[in-house]
Chains A and B, each alone.
Chain A
Amino acid sequence: MSVEQNTDLIPLKVHGVLVDPNTDTQIVVLRDETNADVLPIWVGTAEGTSIRLALEDVVPPRPMSHDLITSFIDHLGMTVSHIVVTDVKNNTYFATIHFTSNGLERTVDARPSDAIAVALRAKCPIYVTSDVLKRRGGDNLDAWLAKLDPQQFGQSETSEA
Protein backbone atom coordinates (compact mmCIF):
# COMPACT_ATOMS: atom_id res chain seq x y z
CA MET A 1 0.00 0.00 0.00
CA SER A 2 1.81 3.11 -1.14
CA VAL A 3 1.51 6.41 0.63
CA GLU A 4 -0.15 8.05 -2.37
CA GLN A 5 -3.06 5.66 -2.36
CA ASN A 6 -3.68 5.97 1.34
CA THR A 7 -5.52 9.19 2.02
CA ASP A 8 -5.57 8.46 5.71
CA LEU A 9 -2.09 9.87 6.40
CA ILE A 10 -1.51 13.51 7.23
CA PRO A 11 2.01 14.86 6.65
CA LEU A 12 3.51 16.63 9.63
CA LYS A 13 6.54 18.79 10.27
CA VAL A 14 8.45 18.95 13.51
CA HIS A 15 7.79 22.48 14.64
CA GLY A 16 10.13 22.34 17.59
CA VAL A 17 10.89 20.81 20.95
CA LEU A 18 9.74 22.51 24.13
CA VAL A 19 11.62 21.87 27.34
CA ASP A 20 9.75 21.88 30.63
CA PRO A 21 12.40 23.07 33.10
CA ASN A 22 10.50 21.80 36.13
CA THR A 23 10.23 18.20 35.11
CA ASP A 24 12.65 16.15 33.11
CA THR A 25 10.36 16.09 30.12
CA GLN A 26 10.37 17.57 26.68
CA ILE A 27 7.52 18.05 24.23
CA VAL A 28 7.91 17.48 20.51
CA VAL A 29 5.48 19.75 18.69
CA LEU A 30 4.29 18.43 15.37
CA ARG A 31 2.23 20.59 13.02
CA ASP A 32 0.41 19.79 9.83
CA GLU A 33 1.40 21.66 6.69
CA THR A 34 -1.33 24.26 6.95
CA ASN A 35 -0.39 24.92 10.59
CA ALA A 36 -4.00 24.25 11.41
CA ASP A 37 -3.39 21.30 13.64
CA VAL A 38 -0.92 20.78 16.41
CA LEU A 39 0.12 17.43 17.88
CA PRO A 40 2.32 17.64 20.97
CA ILE A 41 4.00 14.46 22.14
CA TRP A 42 5.82 14.16 25.48
CA VAL A 43 9.23 12.51 25.18
CA GLY A 44 12.22 11.81 27.42
CA THR A 45 15.27 14.04 27.67
CA ALA A 46 17.56 11.90 25.56
CA GLU A 47 15.00 11.60 22.76
CA GLY A 48 14.11 15.28 22.86
CA THR A 49 17.77 16.23 22.70
CA SER A 50 18.35 13.86 19.80
CA ILE A 51 15.45 15.44 17.91
CA ARG A 52 16.70 18.95 18.63
CA LEU A 53 20.19 18.09 17.41
CA ALA A 54 18.72 16.77 14.17
CA LEU A 55 16.52 19.87 13.76
CA GLU A 56 19.51 22.12 14.18
CA ASP A 57 21.70 19.97 11.92
CA VAL A 58 24.22 19.59 14.70
CA VAL A 59 26.61 16.69 14.19
CA PRO A 60 28.02 15.56 17.54
CA PRO A 61 31.71 14.53 17.71
CA ARG A 62 30.77 10.90 18.32
CA PRO A 63 27.68 9.17 16.93
CA MET A 64 24.74 9.23 19.31
CA SER A 65 22.24 6.40 19.44
CA HIS A 66 20.04 7.64 16.59
CA ASP A 67 23.11 8.45 14.51
CA LEU A 68 24.13 4.84 15.00
CA ILE A 69 20.72 3.60 13.83
CA THR A 70 21.07 5.82 10.76
CA SER A 71 24.57 4.47 10.24
CA PHE A 72 23.31 0.86 10.29
CA ILE A 73 20.63 1.74 7.79
CA ASP A 74 23.14 3.42 5.47
CA HIS A 75 25.81 0.72 5.75
CA LEU A 76 23.35 -2.08 5.10
CA GLY A 77 22.00 -0.34 2.01
CA MET A 78 18.58 0.36 3.45
CA THR A 79 16.45 3.48 3.09
CA VAL A 80 13.92 4.89 5.49
CA SER A 81 10.94 5.79 3.35
CA HIS A 82 8.65 7.38 5.94
CA ILE A 83 7.36 7.11 9.48
CA VAL A 84 3.79 7.13 10.73
CA VAL A 85 2.35 7.94 14.13
CA THR A 86 -0.27 5.24 13.92
CA ASP A 87 -2.24 5.13 17.12
CA VAL A 88 -2.69 6.37 20.64
CA LYS A 89 -4.01 4.10 23.39
CA ASN A 90 -4.15 4.90 27.09
CA ASN A 91 -1.91 7.93 26.66
CA THR A 92 0.69 5.93 24.77
CA TYR A 93 1.49 6.81 21.17
CA PHE A 94 2.57 4.18 18.69
CA ALA A 95 4.59 4.68 15.54
CA THR A 96 5.89 2.65 12.65
CA ILE A 97 9.10 3.16 10.70
CA HIS A 98 8.80 2.15 7.04
CA PHE A 99 12.01 1.28 5.29
CA THR A 100 13.16 -0.60 2.23
CA SER A 101 15.82 -3.25 2.14
CA ASN A 102 16.77 -5.15 -0.99
CA GLY A 103 13.75 -3.73 -2.75
CA LEU A 104 11.39 -5.03 -0.09
CA GLU A 105 9.26 -2.79 2.10
CA ARG A 106 9.63 -3.44 5.80
CA THR A 107 8.20 -1.94 8.95
CA VAL A 108 9.24 -1.83 12.59
CA ASP A 109 7.30 -0.80 15.67
CA ALA A 110 8.76 2.23 17.44
CA ARG A 111 8.06 4.97 19.89
CA PRO A 112 7.26 8.23 18.09
CA SER A 113 10.34 9.91 19.58
CA ASP A 114 12.71 7.34 18.12
CA ALA A 115 10.81 7.30 14.83
CA ILE A 116 10.96 11.10 14.55
CA ALA A 117 14.66 11.19 15.51
CA VAL A 118 15.40 8.66 12.76
CA ALA A 119 13.10 10.36 10.22
CA LEU A 120 14.80 13.73 10.67
CA ARG A 121 18.22 12.17 10.06
CA ALA A 122 16.90 10.27 7.07
CA LYS A 123 15.15 13.43 5.85
CA CYS A 124 12.04 11.40 5.13
CA PRO A 125 8.36 12.31 5.58
CA ILE A 126 6.56 12.12 8.90
CA TYR A 127 2.87 11.24 8.90
CA VAL A 128 0.09 10.83 11.40
CA THR A 129 -3.12 8.97 10.76
CA SER A 130 -6.08 11.29 10.48
CA ASP A 131 -7.72 9.31 13.25
CA VAL A 132 -4.96 10.11 15.75
CA LEU A 133 -4.87 13.75 14.71
CA LYS A 134 -8.64 14.02 15.11
CA ARG A 135 -8.49 12.40 18.52
CA ARG A 136 -5.44 14.10 19.96
CA GLY A 137 -4.65 17.12 17.86
CA GLY A 138 -5.45 20.65 18.87
CA ASP A 139 -5.84 23.79 16.88
CA ASN A 140 -3.77 26.00 19.12
CA LEU A 141 -0.69 24.91 21.02
CA ASP A 142 -0.77 27.66 23.63
CA ALA A 143 -4.41 27.12 24.43
CA TRP A 144 -3.79 23.40 24.58
CA LEU A 145 -0.84 23.81 26.94
CA ALA A 146 -2.71 26.32 29.07
CA LYS A 147 -5.54 23.87 29.54
CA LEU A 148 -3.11 21.34 30.85
CA ASP A 149 -3.14 20.88 34.57
CA PRO A 150 0.53 20.50 35.63
CA GLN A 151 -0.44 17.58 37.83
CA GLN A 152 -2.04 15.76 34.99
CA PHE A 153 0.12 13.94 32.49
CA GLY A 154 -0.48 14.79 28.89
CA GLN A 155 -0.34 12.33 26.07
CA SER A 156 3.02 10.72 26.53
CA GLU A 157 4.98 8.09 24.74
CA THR A 158 4.79 5.55 27.45
CA SER A 159 2.35 5.12 30.25
CA GLU A 160 5.34 5.13 32.56
CA ALA A 161 6.69 8.54 31.51
Chain B
Amino acid sequence: MITQMNVRGLLFDPYNNAYIVILRDEENSDMLPIWVGKSEASAISFALESISPPRPMTHDLMKSILDNVDAKVLSAVVTDLKDNTYFAKIHLWYGDSEYSIDSRPSDAIALALRAEAPIFTTEEVLRKQNSEELERWLENLKPEDFGKFET
Protein backbone atom coordinates (compact mmCIF):
# COMPACT_ATOMS: atom_id res chain seq x y z
CA MET B 1 0.00 0.00 0.00
CA ILE B 2 1.61 3.26 -1.04
CA THR B 3 0.99 6.77 0.17
CA GLN B 4 1.58 9.91 -1.80
CA MET B 5 3.92 12.36 -0.10
CA ASN B 6 4.79 15.98 -0.64
CA VAL B 7 7.93 17.91 0.16
CA ARG B 8 6.82 20.10 3.03
CA GLY B 9 10.10 21.47 4.22
CA LEU B 10 13.84 21.67 3.89
CA LEU B 11 15.74 22.37 7.11
CA PHE B 12 19.35 22.71 8.10
CA ASP B 13 20.50 20.39 10.90
CA PRO B 14 23.42 22.15 12.61
CA TYR B 15 24.34 19.10 14.72
CA ASN B 16 25.10 17.00 11.67
CA ASN B 17 25.93 19.82 9.26
CA ALA B 18 23.39 18.37 6.89
CA TYR B 19 19.96 19.14 5.53
CA ILE B 20 16.63 17.49 6.26
CA VAL B 21 13.92 17.05 3.64
CA ILE B 22 10.52 16.71 5.28
CA LEU B 23 8.02 14.60 3.38
CA ARG B 24 4.41 14.57 4.58
CA ASP B 25 1.35 12.77 3.33
CA GLU B 26 -1.69 14.71 2.09
CA GLU B 27 -3.45 14.60 5.48
CA ASN B 28 -0.29 15.70 7.26
CA SER B 29 -0.56 12.68 9.50
CA ASP B 30 2.62 10.90 8.45
CA MET B 31 6.09 12.37 8.15
CA LEU B 32 9.42 11.20 6.80
CA PRO B 33 12.50 13.23 7.69
CA ILE B 34 15.27 12.41 5.23
CA TRP B 35 18.81 13.68 5.83
CA VAL B 36 20.54 14.77 2.63
CA GLY B 37 23.78 16.49 1.66
CA LYS B 38 24.24 20.12 0.73
CA SER B 39 24.22 19.74 -3.03
CA GLU B 40 21.11 17.56 -2.98
CA ALA B 41 19.39 20.07 -0.68
CA SER B 42 20.31 22.83 -3.16
CA ALA B 43 18.91 20.84 -6.03
CA ILE B 44 15.66 20.25 -4.14
CA SER B 45 15.45 23.86 -3.03
CA PHE B 46 15.92 25.17 -6.57
CA ALA B 47 13.14 22.90 -7.80
CA LEU B 48 10.81 23.94 -4.97
CA GLU B 49 11.36 27.59 -5.76
CA SER B 50 11.32 27.05 -9.52
CA ILE B 51 14.75 28.61 -9.79
CA SER B 52 16.43 28.00 -13.10
CA PRO B 53 20.18 28.38 -12.79
CA PRO B 54 22.11 29.87 -15.75
CA ARG B 55 23.80 26.55 -16.48
CA PRO B 56 22.22 23.11 -16.00
CA MET B 57 23.03 21.61 -12.63
CA THR B 58 23.39 17.86 -12.17
CA HIS B 59 19.67 17.13 -11.74
CA ASP B 60 18.78 19.43 -14.64
CA LEU B 61 21.19 17.36 -16.73
CA MET B 62 19.57 14.18 -15.46
CA LYS B 63 16.17 15.47 -16.58
CA SER B 64 17.43 16.75 -19.92
CA ILE B 65 18.96 13.38 -20.82
CA LEU B 66 15.62 11.72 -20.08
CA ASP B 67 13.70 14.40 -22.03
CA ASN B 68 16.07 14.00 -24.95
CA VAL B 69 15.06 10.36 -25.43
CA ASP B 70 11.42 10.90 -24.42
CA ALA B 71 11.72 8.94 -21.22
CA LYS B 72 9.09 9.99 -18.69
CA VAL B 73 9.55 10.08 -14.94
CA LEU B 74 6.44 8.32 -13.65
CA SER B 75 7.17 8.56 -9.93
CA ALA B 76 9.73 8.47 -7.18
CA VAL B 77 9.09 5.96 -4.38
CA VAL B 78 10.83 5.76 -1.01
CA THR B 79 10.83 1.99 -0.78
CA ASP B 80 12.69 0.99 2.36
CA LEU B 81 14.42 2.05 5.52
CA LYS B 82 17.29 -0.11 6.77
CA ASP B 83 20.02 0.77 9.25
CA ASN B 84 19.15 4.43 9.18
CA THR B 85 19.39 4.47 5.38
CA TYR B 86 16.45 5.20 3.13
CA PHE B 87 16.20 3.51 -0.24
CA ALA B 88 14.24 4.77 -3.20
CA LYS B 89 13.31 3.84 -6.75
CA ILE B 90 12.66 6.05 -9.74
CA HIS B 91 10.03 4.70 -12.10
CA LEU B 92 10.53 5.62 -15.75
CA TRP B 93 8.49 5.02 -18.89
CA TYR B 94 10.63 4.58 -21.99
CA GLY B 95 9.69 3.10 -25.31
CA ASP B 96 6.89 0.82 -24.26
CA SER B 97 8.28 -0.37 -20.97
CA GLU B 98 8.45 0.71 -17.40
CA TYR B 99 11.83 0.80 -15.67
CA SER B 100 12.54 0.89 -11.97
CA ILE B 101 15.91 2.36 -11.02
CA ASP B 102 17.60 2.18 -7.62
CA SER B 103 18.30 5.63 -6.21
CA ARG B 104 18.93 7.67 -3.11
CA PRO B 105 15.76 9.47 -2.00
CA SER B 106 17.41 12.88 -2.47
CA ASP B 107 18.14 12.30 -6.14
CA ALA B 108 14.70 10.73 -6.64
CA ILE B 109 13.00 13.72 -5.02
CA ALA B 110 15.12 16.29 -6.88
CA LEU B 111 14.27 14.60 -10.18
CA ALA B 112 10.59 14.06 -9.39
CA LEU B 113 10.15 17.74 -8.54
CA ARG B 114 11.69 18.76 -11.86
CA ALA B 115 9.53 16.28 -13.73
CA GLU B 116 6.43 17.22 -11.72
CA ALA B 117 6.05 13.54 -10.94
CA PRO B 118 4.47 12.25 -7.73
CA ILE B 119 6.47 11.06 -4.75
CA PHE B 120 5.26 8.02 -2.82
CA THR B 121 6.30 5.89 0.06
CA THR B 122 5.20 2.53 1.35
CA GLU B 123 3.23 1.67 4.48
CA GLU B 124 6.21 -0.36 5.65
CA VAL B 125 8.54 2.64 5.50
CA LEU B 126 6.06 4.78 7.41
CA ARG B 127 5.68 2.04 10.01
CA LYS B 128 9.45 1.68 10.40
CA GLN B 129 9.86 5.44 10.68
CA ASN B 130 7.02 5.84 13.18
CA SER B 131 8.46 3.19 15.42
CA GLU B 132 11.50 5.38 15.95
CA GLU B 133 10.90 7.96 18.65
CA LEU B 134 9.56 10.59 16.35
CA GLU B 135 7.90 12.77 18.93
CA ARG B 136 11.12 13.19 20.85
CA TRP B 137 12.92 14.15 17.66
CA LEU B 138 10.31 16.71 16.82
CA GLU B 139 10.50 18.37 20.21
CA ASN B 140 14.21 18.49 20.58
CA LEU B 141 16.95 17.78 18.08
CA LYS B 142 19.72 16.44 20.30
CA PRO B 143 23.20 15.53 19.06
CA GLU B 144 22.79 11.91 20.15
CA ASP B 145 19.54 11.56 18.24
CA PHE B 146 21.12 10.49 15.00
CA GLY B 147 18.66 10.90 12.22
CA LYS B 148 18.24 8.83 9.14
CA PHE B 149 21.07 9.33 6.70
CA GLU B 150 20.99 8.51 3.06
CA THR B 151 24.31 6.69 3.06
**What residues make up the interface of A, taking CB atoms closer than 8 Å to B?**
44-47, 60-66, 68-69, 71-73, 75-76, 78, 92, 94, 97, 99, 101-102, 106, 108-111, 114, 157-160
Contacts and interface: CB of A to CB of B under 8 A. Distances in A.
Contacts of A76: 69, 71, 92, 94, 99
Contacts of A73: 65
Contact of A106 (B62, B68, B94, B102): B68
Contacts of A92: 54-55
Contact of A62 (B39, B54, B64, B85): B85
A111 B68 CA distance: 17
Contact of B61 (A64, A78, A101, A108): A108
A45 B39 contact: yes
B65 A108 contact: yes
Contacts of B39: 44-46, 65
B104 A157 contact: no
Interface of B: 37-40, 53-59, 61-62, 64-66, 68-69, 71, 85, 87, 90, 92, 94, 99, 101-104, 107, 150-151
A13 to B, nearest CB: 22
Contact of B54 (A63, A65, A158): A158
A69 B53 contact: no
B68 A108 contact: yes
Contacts of A64: 104, 107
B59 A111 contact: no
Nearest to A160: B54
B27 to A, nearest CB: 30
B55 A108 contact: no
A38 B55 CA distance: 24
Given A46-B39, A106-B69, A111-B56, A71 B101 contact: yes
Contacts of A75: 92, 99, 101
A78 B69 contact: yes
Which one of A68, A71, A160 has the greatest number of beta carbons of chain B within 10 Å? Answer: A68
22 contacts: A45-B38, A62-B104, A62-B151, A63-B107, A64-B104, A65-B39, A66-B58, A68-B62, A68-B90, A68-B103, A71-B101, A72-B101, A76-B92, A76-B94, A106-B68, A108-B64, A109-B56, A111-B55, A111-B56, A111-B57, A158-B55, A160-B54
B116 to A, nearest CB: 18
